[in-house]
Structure 1
């Protein structure tokens, strides 16, 4: 167990490093904006318009089916990117092609008039976007020295967390202009990814030794023994638990505002955008400061643990005060905690990867990404079950989220290879 290694001469310095940092920040900002805007606002609105009575169950089904395919696509795409040989490098082809197919499918979603056609096109978009995401994440392990990954992760984390908020704001205000909203997200991600590949030329990989795929060995490689690699297993568990809590609330936030807080449909769209703006300020500030402090003190675990605990506290606020006051508190505190967690989590993940002479970082980081995707399957289903069992009492979702997020903090503590 140790830090993911890449040849030292692949690590970037000076203007090239800064350009790649900023490009990663922009790309992840737009990708997370797409996810939050589409999953948190546009799709829930579209699904509710198609069938108001079944909206909660249909949304849970959409999340579950999407996440099954995403969970499979992410580690497989990461493993295949490790083996990709081209003059554009190992990761760039996946970023360019994934963004193209994903954006075309996403724009098609805006024209769908049935739940099933909507789901098919969205699943296609999700597979494409999740195929390019591990390639972008792995560039942090490929191109940055381990001791500088905290600040890189902080900058990228600020972009990601800012994107999650900005996407909600944009989608909230454009919810009534569906085609424009979907087109804006799809076009922005496509242009950004193509520009990313063009201005951050990856070293060619076509001269590297080729790794033929032996399918039995290929699929066995996705099992990483918790006994042999306990830090990897604890990091996976921590990520899994925190996203089980966070996704349960995030997926149903629009319906929480309508059915728990009591806002009308139009007011809830505006409210989710306004709450997101409060979160944005806290997210970006927390991410940048946490990333800088993490590199300064060369510590990762304390920031991830504290971020998890703060997130749990945020989810208690709407339980104490089930009104907009509680939601404003939630929005601010979740921004601080999630910004701290996200900014350091990525750096920590690159430092718990199993050591490999074969260059399997893309596959291993893809596996860790499934700790985000699997909760997207389970948490909406869990939330839907809780709502059915407790007569649409949305407070049960917050209670479950608190338990999961607090449990996540305890899974970070046993990690030994990262301080």
Structure 2
């Protein structure tokens, strides 16, 4: 079956290959519907396996091993994120230079999914917090590497005229997956093993579909380029803001926006438990219910925002709208103490996150300094999301401790802080990125 998204073949014959220089990225062809659907299925599966533990499963496991110590969740997730931050550019460079019959990115999908699934199983039976933390480091490395490979394949193979809608679909599946995942595990919440393994198994199965349908060209005939040195690897962790100002401003705006986002989402299980006066283990159904309602908002924000940004050829406006909606939702949740108000705030935040993430991803691809090194630069882009996901859980426990009393954490100030940061991030992208409308 022909894959419309594959780059033009550059070999003359199997016996006498003509290497393609790394700097010469091939022209991009329109991606087929089958390729897009299978990629979105894989993104859905990876997001489910990756985010459900952060949203729910890890909180349950930590509450089992150390009741009342909410800050441990921040330490576990933050430490894992910092480790991945340190390794992600190396993984990106390694991916760019991988030469196999399966291509450059597919080996990372396979290895990432298998490692992530095995590590989730380990967390489910880990007898102490140290092993839970070690297991999450491995799980996060696996699933995040697979997620990074999917995003890099978009930079490799999706043309400009499709980027808005595919970014929108990516944002939608990324938003929908943990919601549906939490709903699924809420039905097996009494089994810690299933709470971790069920999303992981589904993630691997959906990755397998993409591996079969989403063929990637053999990369063995691509030129390897210059030998990678320690200095070159370290250099891959950075870029020149002077030479690539739009890439730099967008990176900074994303960093600040996602810091606000992670302030307001990392502790959502504990937040809902406190505001609704429920035990942590019983929050799954509430989180899932709010999430299902938010799925409509996420669909509207991601898909409609992505399609409209393609049609109107305007990206930055939708980023700003997303930031403003996030502020509104965060402020409502900050002062919410009943289910209905929490739902309203969550709907606005889901809409905002989906709109911002979908359209800004299209901006990311448009301002990449060098598409031939997409793996490296997409890894650098991931810094703008991974640093906040590591830093916010470590800082948030200190914020929620400000003025707390009677065993209740101060989530109001945390959500208001997140709103301010999200607004600053959106304004930076809107006002400072010049090469994209």
For normalisation by structure 1, the TM-score amounts to 0.93
In structure 1, distance between residues paired with 2:267 and 2:158 = 37
**1:78 equivalent among 73, 92, 99:** 92
Q: Of residues 407, 415, 420 in structure 2, which corresponds to 1:403?
A: 420
Q: How far apart are the structure 2 equivalents of 1:156 and 1:196?
A: 14
SS at match of 1:310: helix
1:182 and 1:166, CA in 2 relative to 1: closer, same or farther beyond 3 A? same
- The whole-number CA distance in structure 2 between the counterparts of 1:98 and 1:35 is 11
Indicate the residue corresponding to 1:209 in structure 2.
223
Higher relative contact order (CA 8 A, sep 6+): 1
Aligned pair count?
A: 409
Q: Which whole-Å deviations, capped at 9, do the CAs of 1:147-194 have from their partners, x for residues lacking one?
A: 221111112222111113222322344322221222211111112223
Are the aligned partners of 2:400 and 2:411 in contact in 1 as well (CA < 8 Å)? yes
Q: What is aligned with 1:87?
A: 101
Tell me, in whole angstroms, the C-alpha distance in 1 between the residues paired with 2:418 and 2:187: 27
Instruction: Evaluate the alpha carbon distance shift between residue 226 and residue 47 of structure 1 in structure 2; reply closer, same or farther with a 3 A threshold.
Output: same
The DSSP-based 3-state class of the residue aligned with 2:265 is helix
**TM-superposed deviation, 1:138:** 1.1
- TM-score (ref. length: structure 2): 0.89
Of 269, 273, 282, 1:258 maps to: 273
Q: Distance in 1 between matches of 2:311 and 2:318?
A: 12
SS in 1 for 2:112: helix
Q: In the superposition, relative to structure 1, how do residues 174 and 311 fare at CA in structure 2: closer, same or farther (>3 Å)?
A: farther
> How far apart, in 2, do the equivalents of 1:351 and 1:154 lie?
15
| 1:84-104 per-position Cα deviation (integer Å, ceiling 9, x unaligned) | 111111111111111111211
Q: Contact conserved, 1:73 with 1:130, CA < 8 A, in 2?
A: no
Per-residue deviation at 1:136?
Answer: 1.1
Q: Does 1:131 align with 2:145?
A: yes
Distance 1:281 1:323 in 2: 21
Matched, 1:385 2:385: no
For 1:347 and 1:7, locate their aligned partners in 2 and report how far apart those are by CA, in whole Å: 19
Structure 2's unaligned 5+ residue stretches are 1-22
Counterpart in 1 of 2:34?
19
Q: Cα RMSD between the aligned structures?
A: 1.7
Q: State the distance in 1 between where 2:184 and 2:383 align.
A: 27
Match of 2:411 in 1: 394
Q: Which residues of 2 match residues 137-156 of structure 1 at below 5 A?
A: 137-156=151-170
